[in-house]
Amino acid sequence: MNDKSVDKNKKSVKKNTNASSKKKTSKKTNIKNVEKKIEQSIKVTSKSAVDNEKIVCETKENKFGFFEYALLIIIASLVFSVLGYFIGLKGNNNLIDDYATANQNLREFIEEYNYILENYYGEVDETELISSAIEGMLSSIDNYSGFIGKDSNNDSISLKGEYVGLGIGVLNNNDGNIVIATIYDNSPASKSGLKVGDVVLKINDEDFTGRDNKELVSKIDELEEVKLTIKRSEEELTFDLKKDKIIIKSVAYEMLENNIGYIQVGLFAENTDEQFSEALVELESKDLKSLIIDLRGNVGGHLSSVKNMISQFLDDSHIIYHTENEQGIEKVYSNGNKDKEYKIVILQDLTSASASEVMASALREQLNAYIIGNTSFGKGTVQTVRNIDGIGEYKVTTMKWLTSNGVWIDGTGIVPDLEVSLNEAYYKEPIRKNDNQLNSAIEYLKKIED
């Protein structure tokens, strides 16, 4: 689960491999400048976790060099986590001691960084050095903190819920060629006549036969208009496409028998709450009697999105979850205006995690929703995603979440009211009649309505 904040540095990197004594003097001065700026930031940021975010935001205006800025972000966002606390979250009596410890760690880090740059016998990629340092620190914290990198990332695109492109998803087939695996509705690709299974041969007459699909994605990112040459059966075809905004659908819905509404939520992207609201309004307009929310395979997403979705079922008197960090526990209330009166069933499986578990627990504990399937994954923490320009994104665990009743489900998951494992027949033939979990939900709702 992510709360996203982005900070960008606006200066470019200038690398000088022939370091002089003048350069070394400048570096030592930079150490003092960085420490001074950190000290100034820390003095004004000692009240809350939100204030700790300001350590980075405020120094954005200080016009640091690229690596000074990167190091500042590392220290502000990671070193304190590795040490097990954030500066300023303790009492004033401890603040000076905490700062002194962090300041010494910062000095040692920068000195070793400079030593490597000046004494390594060969070339040093400074950007790679910084990203490796970030990755190393994140790996020592927990399984959910990690370095994402600067390359185009499918997970990031999915969580945003939209992007500018052609509207295709690609992969490499067994022959090593790039194949179109997905085509999004109402996209340039769908309107052009491209089909799933088409083999990509060229982009703007550049041969892409046998190349990695990531190279194709990077190439398309560079272009506004694309001439795509593909092979379909034995025929070679060319399509001229212009990139456009692609809305990724994370919600599917339909009305089942007995006026049972069905909404499937694939993930909690930034725009999933809007899609969910449209689906719910449409189903309720068709005389909805009860509802199945399918969260199977949903590994989570944005906390703000799931909060808005839960609020469509509960008025603002309901606690829907809690967050906990070094400052304590905060209650989070629904922002809705009415409790839904119809019966709700949640479908979940072993991979339903994070935001899915927030939704399932809130609707069960506050609205008596019934859960069918398997015990969920059990992810009770929240990550913040941050961006360092030129290096890439990283995510770091910043808090834990608890259910509306104050239960931390991390590592244990949510146990369903009715345990039903998916039929083996469904894996072989994924059709409705073989989906025994969905069918169990339908039968349960029919039974309680009779």
Structure token digits, residue 190: 């769908």
C-beta of residue 113 within 8 angstroms of C-beta of residue 129: yes
- Name the E strands within 185-234: 199-203, 206-207, 225-232
Task: Name residue 86's beta-bridge partners.
Answer: none
Q: How far apart are CA 230 and CA 253, in angstroms?
A: 33
Q: How far apart are CA 290 and CA 283, in angstroms?
A: 10
Q: In which residue are the tokens 């400074």 written?
A: 126
Q: How far apart are CA 211 and CA 194, in angstroms?
A: 20
Sequence-distant (6+) residues with CB within 8 A of 39 are 99, 103
Residue 120 dihedral angles phi and psi, to the nearest 5°:
-60, 140
Q: How far apart are CA 444 and CA 434, in angstroms?
A: 17
Q: Is the dihedral of CA 416, 419, 423, 427 positive or negative?
A: positive
Q: In which residue are the tokens 């695109």 written?
A: 157
Buried b (16+ CB within 10 A) or exposed e, 350-384: bebbbbbbbbbbbbbbbbebbbbbbbbbbbbbbbb
Which residues form the catalytic set?
354, 379, 383
How long is the chain?
450
